[in-house]
Amino acid sequence: MARLILPSKSLAFSRKSFLGLISPAPLQVNCSVNYFRNTAKSSIRYRQFLASEAIFQKKCSPLYSSVPRFKQLSRRLNCSVATEDIPKQVEESNMEAPKEIFLKDYKKPDYYFDTVHLKFSLGEDKTIVSSKITVFPRTEGSSPPLVLDGQDLSLVSIHLNGKALKEEDYHLDARHLTILSPPSGKYDLEIVTEIQPQKNTSLEGLYKSSGNFCTQCEAEGFRKITFYQDRPDIMAKYTVHIEADKSLYPVLLSNGNLVEQGDLQDGKHYAVWEDPFKKPCYLFALVAGQLQSRDDTFVTRSGRKVSLRIWTPADDLPKTAHAMYSLKASMKWDEDVFGLEYDLDLFNIVAVPDFNMGAMENKSLNIFNSKLVLASPETATDADYAAILGVIGHEVRNYHVSGMLEIFPQLDGQQVMLVTCRDWFQLSLKEGLTVFRDQEFSSDMGSRTVKRIGDVSKLRNYQFPQDAGPMAHPVRPHSYIKGAEVVRMYKTLLGSEGFRKGIDLYFKRHDGQAVTCEDFYAAMRDANNADFANFLLWYSQAGTPTVKVKTSYNPEAHTFSLKFSQEIPTTPGQSVKEPMFIPVAVGLLDSSGKDIPLSAFNHDGTLESVSSKDQLVFTTVLRVTKKEEEFVFTDIFERPVPSLLRGYSAPIRLESDLTDDDLFFLLANDSDGFNRWEAGQILARKLMLNLVDDFQHDKPLVLNPNFVDGFKRILSNSSLDKEFVAKAITLPGEGEIMDIMEVADPDAVHAVRTFIRKQLASELRAEFLNIVENNRSSEEYVFNHQNLARRALKNVAIAYLASLEDQEFTNLALEEYKAATNLTEQLAALAAIAQNPGKSRDDVLADFYGKWQHDFLVVNKWFALQAMSDIPNNVENVRQLLNHPAFDLRNPNKVYSLIGGFCGSPVNFHAKDGSGYQFLGEIVLQLDKINPQVASRMVSAFSRWRRYDEDRQKLAKAQLEKIMSSNGLSENVFEIASKSLAA
């Protein structure tokens, strides 16, 4: 899929700290604005819109006044997608109000396509696209009208079997071209269209980015290239002829294999690409421009040599080494773990600075946002390195499951597999499987516990708020994050061996098919002869289940009981919910903190054994499938402390009767790393909520000494992984706390979190200073877990100390900033200094911009850091930054950095005077005329406006109503704004 992502592969910028930009340290989100990780499917009309993902956050404010204006900046800095000025006014659109279509409305196509021949004549003013499509009816002898999708196209001509059609033979409107009476058998349809990529600011279809042509077709971008049945269940073989000016566009790329190239008259040249395998049109890709490649090879397990090429502008080529390493590592991992071998002889990746997504897995020609390809120690953080590793791995794996080819030597010899999703309602199937495999790859390449923490944090801070808001939807159609959790539950229930059996059967059964979520479920069930009862409800019921657990111990019978009850909240369109199938991984700890061997438990009157003949069992998976049920463990000879939902075995909210003492015990002793972290987070959330209540009632804030002591023990435990410690000592984000409040109070939550941070910094000052001292290094930058973990812990410590607003610690951060040999540590020090307004902050921000003004990706971090500031009335500073010469409203990355970053400051975006809401409302309307996808992600920040107090509700509602009343509003923005208002 078109992959949107944030640093650190949890991958969201952090509101807990700016370290989300720096290292895979603690990540939080508290505002609903999509960033790099969402999907191009935002244009799909028939799905409930993807409401929110991740945004930037933190304390920093702009320094626009002290930054000199430059008369001219390099093209690489501006990354301008369009060659014309941003329009001040756009003509009203005549489009109809969007119509929502449901899964039950799915119908098979009346026609299929066999082959597609495309010819592109790329020009500076216009591009001519000629298509020749071989069409045949689904039912032989039938000839209903053929309806083709098309948008922003100028029709030049239509020929059917070589004969030009008259105007009365077809109907053309703003969205469709309909052939009224096509032949009843197989025929050739030739269509010539004219498009203007240089004016295409939506970044869908074919457009120009920094002088180069490129495409983005998922989900419905192909209809902006030529008239076509733009749906995923139409698969055909493509041959693509590209011709262009050779001096301007020396590189001509498309999917598949290069079969012919040569020179033409008038300084032009051409290239012909042929893809030997069928694919849906959303995987079509074309790139033309002045690019150079880093070349390498990968030898597959069967001995084939695959050519690997990463294309960028020449100046950026040195920054592609890590991307190439990531590509090769991912291809090998897929072979070793899943038996998947890349099937073509060429793999191209192109870095594009103007891209709505993070990356797109177009077959053999992956197009990536530059952010997810370019990296050097001086210009990329640990988080960027991790993101590149993960997203390149994601797209390689998405290649294998989203309509791509797979070789399974273990299945009937060397068999080629092709499976795609039948319709966009099945998006969570391919994306969920891909994200799960992506998570497993990143876990194997680093710390599995820390990766799991990051993934769960992302789920909670993105998916859970969406589940509780007007955009709530089931896993199907497009919840890829929760979809990955569903795939993980299969593996939890079946084990690694059983899961692999299910995967193999899935591809064996569905070779060459367009499939559904039910097909995947059936393969898992049948391959293991498993009873999954109501498991399919995960695909159809919206909302986050809440599971409550009550414990009891019987010392006479030596039994320990866990009583479960579950409830799924009402969501829009679903008021009645059935109990879900919830796997709960459980372990029991004795009084010394060690795991108790488990032998058996009683459930529904049956004694079920969990013991293994070969080894002791310390964790078992309970299958909770009813509204209420009980599991009673036998042979438990002392009251245990239960470790519930180990590894976060199901995407639920868990409530238990564990005491604070139990949680502190788990924090100190649990062998499950995730639950050890989770115990600390539960304690922190409880503490913060209690202090918020005190703050709202004007009571003095007092920090529980046990909490401070718990932090101290973690900091002093040298046996713990340093990256885990960095996660464990980071407080829950403000958004996470507001999400569990009945009425969200941004001011109170911010005040409490600031108070706790300062108290911890003050009382643990010596420990934090010791961490900084012991984790410095002047060695050359190396991206590996040991060094990444060291930097993450040191950076968190510096951030804590800087919160004290003491000149001593400002000087310490300044020293770290000046001594830093890599961007990870330099940006962390800058973020620490930027917490506090003053001359030091202004000077260091100006210095940083002066150093990096010609690197657009680093400048984006500079924008984000300032935009996320909690300094009062920061909206005015952000308004000034809109006019900065390095900012361009047409570039999604810059919008996400500055506008998305601003929405990440609760106290400014949710300012009581409504200034933050007004600012975003104005920006959304401007953006909607330029790039509706980006605008829709921005407007999603309003989606949970009813979570706040009455005054804020009125102010936010007013902006939504203003947006809805705008002439020519895009479908993308209309959908989110209308659903938000109706909530």
218 catalytic? Reply is: no
β-pairing, 176-179 vs 170-172, is antiparallel
Question: For residue 212, which of 350, 25, 65, 9 has the smallest C-alpha distance?
Answer: 350
Give the number of other Cβ atoms within 10 Å of residue 295's Cβ.
10
DSSP letter at 941 equals G
Q: Work out whether strand 235-245 and strand 111-121 pair parallel, antiparallel, or are unpaired.
A: parallel
Residue 51's identity, in one-letter code, is A
Distance CA 820, CA 823 (A): 7
∠ CA 596-597-598, rounded to 5°: 110
If we measure between CA atoms, which residue out of 778, 772, 840, 774 comes closest to residue 805? Answer: 840
Token readout for 898 is 């500055």
The DSSP string of 603-666 is ETTEEEE---SSS----EEEEE-SSEEEEEE-S--S--EEEESTT--SSSEEEE---HHHHHHH
Six token digits for residue 872: 């009062």
CA 218 – CA 44 distance, rounded (Å) = 10
Among 203, 193, 95, CA closest to 148: 193
Q: How many helices (H) and strands (E) does the chain have?
A: 29, 35
Question: CA 390 to CA 663: how far, in whole Å?
Answer: 33
What is the separation, in whole angstroms, between the first and last Cα of the chain? 29
For 230-257, b/e burial (b = at least 16 CB within 10 A) is bbbbbbbbbbbbbbbbeebbebbbbbbe
CA-CA-CA-CA torsion sign (424, 429, 434, 435): positive
| 825-853 exposure pattern, b = at least 16 Cβ within 10 A, e = fewer | bbbbbbbbbbbbbeebbbebbeebbeebb
Determine which one of 395, 431, 485, 825 is catalytic: 395
Residues near 779 by beta carbon (within 8 Å), at least 6 away in sequence: none
Question: Which residues are annotated as catalytic?
Answer: 395
